Amino acid sequence: MSYHSFLLEPISCHAWNKDRTQIALCPNNHEVHIYKKDGNNWSKIHVLKEHNGQVTGIDWAPESNRIVTCGTDRNAYVWTLKGDVWKPTLVILRINRAARCVKWSPKENKFAVGSGSRLISVCYFEQDNDWWVCKHIKKPIRSTILCLDWHPNNILLAAGSCDFKCRIFSAYIKEVEEKPAPTAWGSKMPFGEVMFESTGTSGWVHGVCFSDSGNRVAWASHDSTVAVAEGGKTAVCASLTSETLPLLCVTFITENSLVAAGHDCYPVLFVYDSNKAAMSFGGKLDVPKQSAQKGMTARERFQNLDKKATTDSKEAVLESVHKNSISQISILNGGKAQCAKFCTTGMDGGMAIWDVKTLESAMKDLKIV
Amino acid sequence: MSKNTVSDRFRKVDVDEYDENKFVDEEEGGENQLGPDEAEVDSLIRQGNLMGALQAVLKSPPINTKNQNVKDRAEGLVLKVLSSFKSTDIEKGVQSLDKNGVDLLMKYIYKGFERPSENSSAVLLQWHEKALSAGGVGCIVRVLTARKTV
């Protein structure tokens, strides 16, 4: 597991290229910086300046090597590499509030942008006009869309919103694709159709993720819960309340295991049992440094008792790798089916890369099913 | 000054009520919720069965009802039960509750903090400490983010 501190400011969002040698991130301002790995260091090779507001979402399409960014200036840009320079193309989203998140679809012929205008813009390239065009999904969204994830069939889109619901919409665009085959979530999928709407959890939905097969969707909510729903004739929801601060991002690492991270600054494992339709807490995934146990002198004890009304010798220092909330988690190797490595970035400006095998051997009782 | 600038009543109009995009929570029928059974809880306290009284008073919480009286009565009853516990028994009381029970207890504790009376805050703080070690910070987050509460 390695940790690299890029900045002192929070990293707003990040995205990796196909072979994981380059990372594009937003250093909490209007720009996107692309860093390239050389040896153990990272060097900044490109700076993408076009946005007029903070960049809130970045996604890097692995096959077509295009980057899409969206920001609080209500715009999205698609960047293509021409020679050694990234050239932007403006996409008109027709929104009147900030854009919050953006994701390429699996086939990279569409992307979806969630915004504060209480709608999702699904954009596709129109060959005749040589221009990106967008369609809106409005009903029944009542508040800002915070997070998006695509189903592997390139049609269904999961969206987590500030109106306390996680929904799965159909983003079928007849101009660019064929009619989809039926899935676990339903068979009729006209554009904008709600295939699933969550119940049971309250709190803003910060992070949403489809499993590798697309039959399960997980979401992390601001009321410190994480929930998984399985598609079927009637969707089955299982949620787990946690004793920690709210989680901000969640991802599947196998079909049954999820890793989530948030305001507690360390990633956490959850396991979903489909037979019992229940979730359980798998374990904390941070490896704390073994600090030398110092004995306390009597004088120190009295001082502690006087100052803090407790003789506890725990120092007020975070022992986790990240020193501030983790805001985004991304899979590096292995996909969502057999993830081998994942990466977290957070408000402390640092990026940590976690190796699943090392974590499994380091923590006893940690089983990733 | 012209006559129509004399009144400032327009400043007291709640403009958010007229916003057509205003978020309204879903209605869940709660008109029949009456809160915990007063007679049952009182008899359990008199018998000295404090654990039973705690379980009884946390049953059927008036979460969905809009009737403020029912909510106030429930809160008063819960406070009565919590105050009748001995300090040393509080921990056992909290252990006897399941996860949802601890969340509900925390909701009542914070409701009780809103309107402090004679000795209520001291008692509630002791209960808060024990409930926090059982439910963690997540429990308090759920009190803060609940749309419908006791």
Interface check for B39 against chain A (CB to CB < 8 A): the answer is no
| Number of Cβ within a 10 Å radius of residue A287 | 16
- Maximal C-alpha separation, chain A: 81
CA distance A143 to chain B (A): 8
Q: What is the pLDDT of residues B86-127, one digit of tens each?
A: 888 899 999 999 988 999 999 999 999 988 888 888 999 999
| Number of Cβ within a 10 Å radius of residue A117 | 22
What is the torsion angle, in degrees rounded to the nearest 10, for the CA atoms of residue A237, residue A243, residue A246 and residue A251? -50
Interface size, chain A vs chain B, as Cβ–Cβ contacts under 8 Å: 38
Interface check for A223 against chain B (CB to CB < 8 A): the answer is yes
For residue B103, the chain A residues in CB contact (below 8 A) are 241
Interface check for A222 against chain B (CB to CB < 8 A): the answer is yes
Query: What phi, psi does B93 have (nearest 5°)?
Result: -60, -45
Along the 369 residues of chain A, how does pLDDT read in single tens digits? 889 999 899 999 999 999 999 999 999 999 999 999 988 889 999 999 999 999 999 999 999 999 999 999 999 999 999 999 999 999 999 999 999 999 999 999 999 999 999 999 999 999 888 899 999 999 899 999 999 999 999 999 999 999 999 999 999 999 999 999 999 999 999 999 999 999 888 899 999 999 999 999 999 999 999 999 998 877 788 889 988 999 999 999 999 999 999 999 999 999 998 888 889 988 888 866 655 556 667 887 788 778 776 666 555 667 788 999 999 999 999 888 899 999 999 999 999 999 988 888 877 667 777
Q: Show the tokens assigned to B23.
A: 């978020």
Q: Show the tokens assigned to A24.
A: 């594009």
- CB atoms B138 and A245 under 8 Å: yes
DSSP A202-235: -S-EEEEEE-SSSSEEEEEETTTEEEEEE-SSS-
Interface check for A244 against chain B (CB to CB < 8 A): the answer is yes
Tell me the C-alpha distance between A288 and A130, whole Å: 53
Domains recognised in chain B with CATH numbers: 30-145 (1.25.40.190)
Q: What is the pLDDT of residues A145-175, one digit of tens each?
A: 999 999 999 999 999 999 999 999 999 999 9
CA distance A241 to chain B (A): 8
- CB atoms B145 and A202 under 8 Å: yes
CB-CB contact of A259 with A329 (8 Å):
yes
CA distance A222 to chain B (A): 7
Tell me the C-alpha distance between B112 and A365, whole Å: 41
- CB atoms A243 and B135 under 8 Å: yes
CB-CB contact of B149 with B107 (8 Å):
yes
Q: What angle do CA B67, B69, B71 make, to 5 degrees?
A: 75
| More reliable by pLDDT, A219 or B6 | A219
**Beta-bridge partners for A272:** A279
What is residue A294's predicted lDDT score, i.e. its pLDDT?
61
Would you tell me which residues 101-140 of chain B have a C-beta closer than 8 angstroms to some C-beta of chain A?
Answer: 103, 135-139
What is the torsion angle, in degrees rounded to the nearest 10, for the CA atoms of residue A327, residue A328, residue A329 and residue A332? -140
Report the residue of chain B nearest A205, measured CA to CA.
B145
Q: How far from the centroid of its chain's Cα atoms is residue B147's Cα?
A: 12
What is residue A291's predicted lDDT score, i.e. its pLDDT?
57
Tell me the C-alpha distance between B145 and A57, whole Å: 26
User: Which of B142, B147, B148 has the highest number of chain A CBs within 10 A, making it the mutation to test binding with A?
Assistant: B142
Report the residue of chain A nearest B133, measured CA to CA.
A243
Q: What angle do CA A241, A239, A145 make, to 5 degrees?
A: 95
Query: What phi, psi does A123 have (nearest 5°)?
Result: -110, 140
Q: Name the residue with tokens 């975070």.
A: A318
**No. of H helices and E strands in chain B?**
6, 0
DSSP A74-130: S-EEEEEEETTEEEEEEE----SS-EEEEEE-TTSSEEEEEETTS-EEEEEEETTTT
Report the residue of chain A nearest B142, measured CA to CA.
A223
Interface check for B20 against chain A (CB to CB < 8 A): the answer is no
Question: Which whole-number Å values give the CA distances from B17 to A6, B10, B13, B22, B148, in the listed order?
Answer: 46, 14, 9, 7, 20
Would you tell me which residues 26-85 of chain A have a C-beta closer than 8 angstroms to some C-beta of chain B?
Answer: none
Tell me the C-alpha distance between A298 and A304, whole Å: 10
What is residue A287's predicted lDDT score, i.e. its pLDDT?
67
For residue A163, the chain B residues in CB contact (below 8 A) are 23
| More reliable by pLDDT, B47 or A78 | A78
Q: What is the mean pLDDT of residues B32-48?
A: 82
CB-CB contact of A311 with A301 (8 Å):
yes
- CB atoms A241 and B147 under 8 Å: no
Count the alpha carbons within 13 Å of A279 in the hemisphere toward its beta carbon. Answer: 28
For residue B142, the chain A residues in CB contact (below 8 A) are 223-225, 241
CA distance A24 to chain B (A): 33
What is residue A316's predicted lDDT score, i.e. its pLDDT?
61
Domains recognised in chain A with CATH numbers: 11-304 (2.130.10.10)
User: Which of A223, A242, A310 has the highest number of chain B CBs within 10 A, making it the mutation to test binding with B?
Assistant: A223
Report the residue of chain A nearest B147, measured CA to CA.
A202
For residue A242, the chain B residues in CB contact (below 8 A) are 136, 138
Interface check for B145 against chain A (CB to CB < 8 A): the answer is yes
**B28 has pLDDT over 80:** no
CA distance B77 to chain A (A): 27
Would you tell me which residues 313-352 of chain A have a C-beta closer than 8 angstroms to some C-beta of chain B?
Answer: none
Report the residue of chain A nearest B25, measured CA to CA.
A163
Q: What is the pLDDT of residues A194-216, one digit of tens each?
A: 999 998 888 999 999 999 999 99
Tell me the C-alpha distance between A289 and B36, whole Å: 49
**B68 has pLDDT over 90:** no
CA distance B104 to chain A (A): 13
